[in-house]
Structure 1
Amino acid sequence: MPTWTQEQVLALAPDASSVAAGRKLASPAPWSSIGVTETPAAVWGLCAGSGKNPYATVVDLSGPAYSCTCPSRKFPCKHALGLLLLWAAGQVPPADAPADFAATWLDARAARAQKAPAAAPDPEAATRRA
């Protein structure tokens, strides 16, 4: 599975402090249950944080879209950036299927995408914009 470059990952960061924090998490030490699949195109992992439970982080690579149980309001959060940097460095092993926590989020995301009706173009709105 092709990976992204470090530059592509860092271009997703919302600000410079997120870049710095993401780089600190781009080592295998705080991560467990990491993996990547081609179908669905996703990478996931559990990151040890300051709390009792690790943060469950999932990235849908087709979006990209991010999910993390951390309280950050930044998207992507430092955990998603760290996980993507780890993947870009070739340090995330391929898996046959996503971990349960990742599969739950990915399945819900796919279900929402199927339910969303395709927006039909509004000819009146197009005329007003022109």
Structure 2
Amino acid sequence: MTNDHTLDVDFDDVDHDEGDETGRLIRPYAITGGRTGAETDISLEAQIQASHRADELVGAYRWEAARLIELVQTPTALIEIAARLELPIGVARVLVADLVDDGAVVLHVPQTTQNFSSLLERVLDGVRNL
């Protein structure tokens, strides 16, 4: 299952001896078809993990998405995915959102403190008591 929003780029034909300092001739945002944001808001610390359908879907994706699925066999933070794939965080976020939409990966959003201001007040009280 491929996403209609991304360009189909054959990286086997890319000469990695030329291009920018990473060896890429394709600019990172070309991977996402120029999209710089995702409809799904994914925080940097969100954990991404391959779904039970990942093995059946991985062959349908280009190398970036396939490599991303390989990386997330165990829960992995979005920021770590971007670093390992050597992609800008925005590109990694779009790729993850596309894979979530396709059902290839599952997004685990960390639970936020329901009453953040009360937590901050308790921390401040603790600091004052030092």
TM over 0.5: no
**TM-score, L = length of structure 2:** 0.30
Task: Name the structure where helix makes up a greater proportion of residues.
Answer: 2
**TM-score, L = length of structure 1:** 0.30
Task: Name the structure where strand makes up a greater proportion of residues.
Answer: 1
